[in-house]
Structure 1
Amino acid sequence: MALKAEDLRGKTPDELRDQLGQLKKEQFNLRFQAATNQLENTARMKTVRRDVARVKTILNQKAADAAKSTEETGA
């Protein structure tokens, strides 16, 4: 099941980094299974790849928001 951006926005950056690590491990395992012809659900590779992109996007948005808020309070 694909992750929803709305759910990801409610998580802390640390939780998002943990989620990203888990997704990267799953992506590696799926690639390995595909290479050895053991992968049954090939669509899962696409879903995981997009979930990784979603998590990275939310992390970058949170970092940009944090930088913007510190810039406003500092200036």
Structure 2
Amino acid sequence: MNNLTELREMSDEQLAATCKEAAETLFRLRFQSQSERLNTPSEIRKNKRLIARIKTLQTERASATASAS
């Protein structure tokens, strides 16, 4: 799993791709949790938090570029 320093080192494109991948994984996990029992239920929480971290970084970067210009 990506920690915050690894996420900060990523480019904007990499962050967007990671966010999309995490959202797809979250969708599959939610679907799987409704249809059968999950092996690791904590994976849903981990993916939600990863998406939140990425979106927070994207917002920080957007506000930093807006204030710089």
TM-score, length of structure 1 as denominator length: 0.86
> What is the total number of aligned residue pairs between the two structures?
69
TM-score, length of structure 2 as denominator length: 0.92
Structure 2 gap ranges (5+): none
Residue 52 of structure 2 corresponds to which residue in structure 1?
Answer: 53
Greater Rg, structure 1 or structure 2? 1
- The percentage of aligned residue pairs carrying the same residue is 25
Structure 1 gap ranges (5+): 71-75
Q: Which gives a bigger RCO, structure 1 or 2 (Cα 8 Å, sep 6+)?
A: 1
Q: Cα RMSD between the aligned structures?
A: 0.9
Structure 1 runs, 4 residues or longer, greater than 4 Å off:
none
